[in-house]
Amino acid sequence: MVTINCAYTEAINPAGATPVLTRDQIWKGLQRKIRKAQDFVPVIEACDVIEEKENEVVREAHFKAVQGFEKKTVREVCKSYYPTKVDFWQPSGALITNTVSDGASLEEHDLNMTYTFEWREEVAEGSEEHKKLIQQRKEGAKMAVHSSIEAMRKMAAAGELD
């Protein structure tokens, strides 16, 4: 088994983006993403919340079969660390972290979203299959970050994150 590590970062409020998202709206969006991931990430078709307690949600995420991913249901433990990150732990030991960070200006709306992935894969390290998976995971990370920000922007425009 090999671990594939990758991360992707995107500005949340690039020039011209409307509405401009606040940290509170982004946090509300991340909390909604825990419970309704299908509204944010196209490879997830549904989520079932199994258990909730303070700062932790256990859910089952139902994934579609796309881009190197098989159709499957994964039980995840989602831990929230207000106002900066959410960790999604999978039974395989895989970890997906969604992080909201300040941009270089440290101004209120200069924020970035980074998704970090630690995937556990049954492939030979350095093999062609390993290299292909790395590229697929990078592309998936970019798609997940971008689609999540766009979903939050649409929700904010509709008044759903106030």
pLDDT in tens, 98-125: 999 999 999 999 999 999 999 988 899 9
The tokens describing 150, both together, are 């766009």
Asked whether 75 and 91 are in contact (CB, 8 A), the reply is yes
pTM of the predicted model as reported, rounded to 2 decimal places: 0.92
Q: What pLDDT shows up at residue 41?
A: 85
Cα–Cα distance for residue pair 47/60, rounded to 1 Å: 6
Low-confidence ranges of the chain (pLDDT < 70): 67-69
Determine the structural domain holding residue 17 and report its residue range: 2-157
Per the structure, the count of domains in the chain is 1
For residues 32, 37, 41 and 43, what is the CA-based torsion angle, rounded to 10 degrees?
A: 180
Residue 46 belongs to a domain: yes
Residue 39 belongs to a domain: yes
Residue 23 belongs to a domain: yes
Residue 162 belongs to a domain: no
Q: Which CATH number covers residue 58? A: 3.30.530.20
Q: What pLDDT shows up at residue 129?
A: 92
Cα–Cα distance for residue pair 5/53, rounded to 1 Å: 29
Residue reference for tokens 């390993």: 130
